[in-house]
Amino acid sequence: MDGLRVIIGPMFSGKTTELLRVLRKYAIAGYRVVLVKPSTDTRYSSSKVVSHDGLEMDALVVEPTIDGLKKVHNILLDHDIIGIDEYQFFNYSKELIRFLLDLSNDKLVIVAALNLDFRGEPWEVVKEILPYADDIKVLRAVCTHVGRDGRRCGRPAVRTQRLLDGRPAPYNSPRVLIGGRESYEARCRKHHEVPK
């Protein structure tokens, strides 16, 4: 089993659920499966990955850099399938991309990542790995923007809207801000707002 698969989409599109579903399927089939997550993501639990709908799996928590990955290299080599959640939080370096591509030569590496940040701009580390993927699964959420008539938009959502006290967060706010439904919503292109 080898190759590189990428699961991308905005928040609330089910990326973690999809990643855990695939990993679980291979675990049931007898493959040695490991799930990695960056240490910046402290939502819900520090040693487990929990999807928004409650699926969970133990995770290997690593510093989100090439050095963090190197520290667990031997553990990774001991598995057949490597899942990485919240991949966008890893610091980009050419070496990190090469490290993952080398692993994917004889293991199946599956990364789940946000397609774009809250500004609607790509993450370097995601952008640089996409062309190498054998399979890219693009997930979409549902736009929850409420119009003046009180109705939800309901279009497929491809963007992540950050909210600050219920209003769209400005462009110059920090790129990484861990949060759930109180700070983020899924939005379609038309309803994604980033005040400059």
Shortest approach of Zn ion to residue 123 CB, angstroms?
23
Is 153 near Zn ion (CB under 5 A)?
Answer: yes
Is 143 near Zn ion (CB under 5 A)?
Answer: yes
DSSP 171: T
Amino acid code (one letter) for 160? T
86 a catalytic residue = yes
Is 191 near Zn ion (CB under 5 A)?
Answer: yes
- Cβ-based nearer residue to Zn ion, 119 or 192: 192
Instruction: Give the C-alpha distances (Å, rounded to integers) separating 128 from 103, 112, 121.
Output: 16, 14, 14
Is 141 near Zn ion (CB under 5 A)?
Answer: no
Binding Zn ion (rule: CB under 5 A), the pick from 145, 159, 162, 192 is: 145
Is 188 near Zn ion (CB under 5 A)?
Answer: yes
Q: Of 86, 121, 182, 193, which one is the catalytic site residue?
A: 86
* d(C-alpha 44, C-alpha 190), whole Å: 31
- Cβ-based nearer residue to Zn ion, 70 or 155: 155
Is 52 near Zn ion (CB under 5 A)?
Answer: no
Helix (H), strand (E) at residue 84: strand 81-84
Helix (H), strand (E) at residue 76: helix 73-77
Asked if residue 85 lies in contact with residue 35, where contact means CB atoms within 8 angstroms, the answer is: yes
Q: Which residues are catalytic?
A: 86
